[in-house]
Structure 1
Amino acid sequence: MSVRPRASASPLFTPHRTDRRTNRRAKAEFTAAQAKARHATRPETRHTVTGPDPELQPTYPAAGRPGPASARGGRLKLPAHRMTTAVASGAYPFLAEGGLGAQGIYVGQDVHAEASFCYDPFALYGRLEGFTNPNILLAGIIGMGKSALAKSLALRATAFGYKVYVPCDPKGEWTVVARELGGQTIALGPGLPGRLNPLDAPEKPYGISDEDWTTEVRKRRLLLLGSLAKTVLRRELHPMEHTALDIALDQVVAYTQQTGTTPLLGDVAFVLGSPQHLDAATGESSGRLGRAAEDLAHALRRMIHGDLGGMFDAPSTVRFDPSAPMLSIDLSRLGGTGDDTGLVLAMTCASAWMEAAISDPTAGRRWVIYDEAWRVMRHVALLERMQSQWKLSRGLGIANVMVIHRLSDLLTAGEAGSRGRALAEGLLTDCSTRIIYRQEADQLASAATLLGLTGVETQAVAALTKGRGLWKVAGRSFITQHLLHPAERTLFDTDARMHAKDREFEYFEEGS
Structure 2
Amino acid sequence: MTHRPARRRASVSPLFTPHGTDRAARKAARRQLAEAHAKARAASTAHPPGQAPAEQEMPLPLYPGSGRPGPASARGTRLKLPAHRMTTATASGAYPFLAEGGLGAEGIYIGRDVHAEASFVFDPFALYGKIEGFTNPNVLLAGVIGQGKSALAKSFALRSVAFGYRIYVPCDPKGEWTPVATALGGTSIALGPGLPGKLNPLDAAPRPPGVSEADWAGEIRKRRLLLLGSLARTVLGRDLLPMEHTALDVALDAVVTQAATVRRTPLLGDIAATLNDPQQLDTAAGAMSGRLGDAARDLAHALRRMVHGDLAGMFDAPSTVTFDPTSPMLTIDLSRLGGSGDDTALVLAMTCASAWMESALADPGGGRRWVVYDEAWRLMRHPGLLERMQSQWKLSRGLGIANLMVIHRLSDLLTAGDAGSRGRALAEGLLADCSTRIVYRQETDQLHAAATLLGLTSVETEAISHLNRGRGLWKVAGRSFIVQHLLHSHESQLFDTDARMH
Pairwise TM-score range, normalised by the shorter structure = 0.7 to 0.9
Equivalence map 1:53-132=2 (5 Å)? 82-84=85-87, 88=91, 95-132=98-135
1:161 aligns with 2:164: yes
Aligned with residue 449 of structure 2, among 440, 446, 449: 446
1:179 aligns with 2:216: no
| Contact 1:94 1:112 (C-alpha < 8 Å) held by counterparts | no
Is the alpha carbon distance of 1:285 and 1:246 closer, same or farther for their aligned partners in structure 2, counting shifts above 3 Å?
Answer: closer
1:298 aligns with 2:301: yes
SS at match of 1:160: coil
Distance 1:330 1:88 in 2: 52
Is the alpha carbon distance of 1:278 and 1:442 closer, same or farther for their aligned partners in structure 2, counting shifts above 3 Å?
Answer: same
1:437 aligns with 2:440: yes
- Which letter does structure 2 place at the counterpart of 1:192? L
1:421-471 deviation per Cα after TM superposition (whole angstroms, max 9, x unaligned): 110010000000000000001111110111011111111111100000000
Distance 2:223 2:441 in 1: 39
- Which letter does structure 2 place at the counterpart of 1:449? T
1:206-231 deviation per Cα after TM superposition (whole angstroms, max 9, x unaligned): 21111111000000000000000011
Of stretches 332-341 and 171-180 in structure 1, the one that deviates more from structure 2 is: 332-341
Is the alpha carbon distance of 1:420 and 1:92 closer, same or farther for their aligned partners in structure 2, counting shifts above 3 Å?
Answer: farther
Deviation at 1:258, TM superposition (A): 1.0
Distance 2:95 2:452 in 1: 20
Is the alpha carbon distance of 1:208 and 1:457 closer, same or farther for their aligned partners in structure 2, counting shifts above 3 Å?
Answer: same
Aligned with residue 365 of structure 1, among 363, 368, 387: 368
Distance 1:94 1:257 in 2: 70
Q: What residue number does 1:495 align with? A: 498
1:330-382 deviation per Cα after TM superposition (whole angstroms, max 9, x unaligned): 00010311000101100110111112332112210000000000000000000
Is the alpha carbon distance of 1:477 and 1:285 closer, same or farther for their aligned partners in structure 2, counting shifts above 3 Å?
Answer: closer
1:140 aligns with 2:158: no
| Contact 1:335 1:341 (C-alpha < 8 Å) held by counterparts | no
Deviation at 1:283, TM superposition (A): 2.3
Distance 2:96 2:467 in 1: 16
Distance 1:236 1:345 in 2: 16
Deviation at 1:200, TM superposition (A): 0.3
1:465-498 deviation per Cα after TM superposition (whole angstroms, max 9, x unaligned): 0000000000000000000000000000000000
Distance 1:355 1:222 in 2: 14
**Over aligned residues, Cα RMSD in angstroms?**
1.8
- Which letter does structure 2 place at the counterpart of 1:132? T
Q: What residue number does 1:249 align with? A: 252
Is the alpha carbon distance of 1:134 and 1:310 closer, same or farther for their aligned partners in structure 2, counting shifts above 3 Å?
Answer: same
| Contact 1:89 1:96 (C-alpha < 8 Å) held by counterparts | no
Is the alpha carbon distance of 1:262 and 1:399 closer, same or farther for their aligned partners in structure 2, counting shifts above 3 Å?
Answer: same
Distance 2:423 2:104 in 1: 37
Is the alpha carbon distance of 1:285 and 1:379 closer, same or farther for their aligned partners in structure 2, counting shifts above 3 Å?
Answer: closer
Count of residues in Structure 1 that have an aligned counterpart in Structure 2: 420
TM-score by length of 1: 0.80
Distance 1:341 1:286 in 2: 31
TM-score by length of 2: 0.81
Q: What residue number does 1:60 align with? A: none
| Contact 1:111 1:479 (C-alpha < 8 Å) held by counterparts | yes
| Contact 1:89 1:97 (C-alpha < 8 Å) held by counterparts | no
Is the alpha carbon distance of 1:334 and 1:184 closer, same or farther for their aligned partners in structure 2, counting shifts above 3 Å?
Answer: same
Distance 1:92 1:120 in 2: 31
Distance 1:301 1:387 in 2: 27
Of stretches 455-464 and 427-436 in structure 1, the one that deviates more from structure 2 is: 455-464
Distance 1:221 1:117 in 2: 42
Is the alpha carbon distance of 1:88 and 1:244 closer, same or farther for their aligned partners in structure 2, counting shifts above 3 Å?
Answer: farther
Aligned with residue 263 of structure 1, among 251, 262, 266: 266
Structure 1, unaligned runs of 5 or more? 1-79, 500-512
| Contact 2:235 2:302 (C-alpha < 8 Å) held by counterparts | yes
Structure 2, unaligned runs of 5 or more? 1-82
Distance 1:93 1:430 in 2: 34
Deviation at 1:90, TM superposition (A): 11
Aligned with residue 331 of structure 2, among 305, 328, 331: 328
Equivalence map 1:292-441=2 (5 Å)? 292-441=295-444
Distance 2:159 2:288 in 1: 61
Is the alpha carbon distance of 1:397 and 1:444 closer, same or farther for their aligned partners in structure 2, counting shifts above 3 Å?
Answer: same
Is the alpha carbon distance of 1:443 and 1:182 closer, same or farther for their aligned partners in structure 2, counting shifts above 3 Å?
Answer: same
- Which letter does structure 2 place at the counterpart of 1:456? V
Distance 2:103 2:436 in 1: 12
Q: What residue number does 1:12 align with? A: none
SS at match of 1:153: helix
Deviation at 1:82, TM superposition (A): 3.4
SS at match of 1:333: helix
| Contact 1:94 1:479 (C-alpha < 8 Å) held by counterparts | no
Distance 2:298 2:245 in 1: 12
SS at match of 1:401: strand
Q: What residue number does 1:502 align with? A: none
SS at match of 1:498: coil
Distance 1:332 1:361 in 2: 31
Distance 1:130 1:337 in 2: 42
1:283 aligns with 2:286: yes
SS at match of 1:138: strand
Of stretches 200-209 and 173-182 in structure 1, the one that deviates more from structure 2 is: 200-209
